[in-house]
A = this chain, B = another copy of it.
């Protein structure tokens, strides 16, 4: 497994870098999906389940963390291509860092690459990574008030995955109230309640992902 340490990219415009990376990934035929969430909301567990349940897809994962490589090792143990990125203390990935991580990956022939962004509900929402799709996770134990406090990430995401739904009996989380708050911020966002532990709800999410991938391959995805 490769581990690289990256610093913030110093260029005129992160937005231009992001557009350039999107064009390059479109040419390579690889759908880049940016996963954002709080620390501990279950990004790696969700990815592990998706990798196991979609064996027909060539999946790669970029793990972005301030330190450690525990997540990349978990992904690699499943047979998927993984790279560990250390962000030099930074609270988010930018487009230049994402491009550098993609270049450093060994397997280039991926259908789908997930960028597991740094665990943080604020900073990653402010930087376009060059991904074609943005997915955010919100776990049940975090609470249904998060759309009120961290609106930008809900606005920037194409899909919201509500994770750890198997914990719903133990936490005070109102799925309907949460969905209403989210749709007020972003009427077009797709919402998928799932438990990566029990598998509940995974099929709908995986169908959406494979549908987006097919649309991308047929060049008619909106990016």
Contact = CB atoms under 8 A, between A and B. Distances in A.
A49 B146 CA distance: 21
Interface residues of A, dominant DSSP? loop
Contacts of A146: 39-40
A47 B152 CA distance: 26
A160 B70 CA distance: 22
Interface of A: 38-40, 65-68, 70, 89, 91, 118-123, 126, 139, 141-143, 145-146, 148-152, 164, 167, 170-171
A150 B91 contact: no
B149 A164 contact: no
In this complex, which of A121, A146, A151, A164 has the most chain B Cβ atoms within 10 angstroms of its Cβ?
Answer: A121
Nearest to A163: B141
Given A40-B142, A149-B67, A123 B123 contact: yes
Given A39-B121, A91-B123, A122-B91, A167 B141 contact: yes
Contact of A122 (B118, B139, B143): B118
Contacts of A152: 66, 89
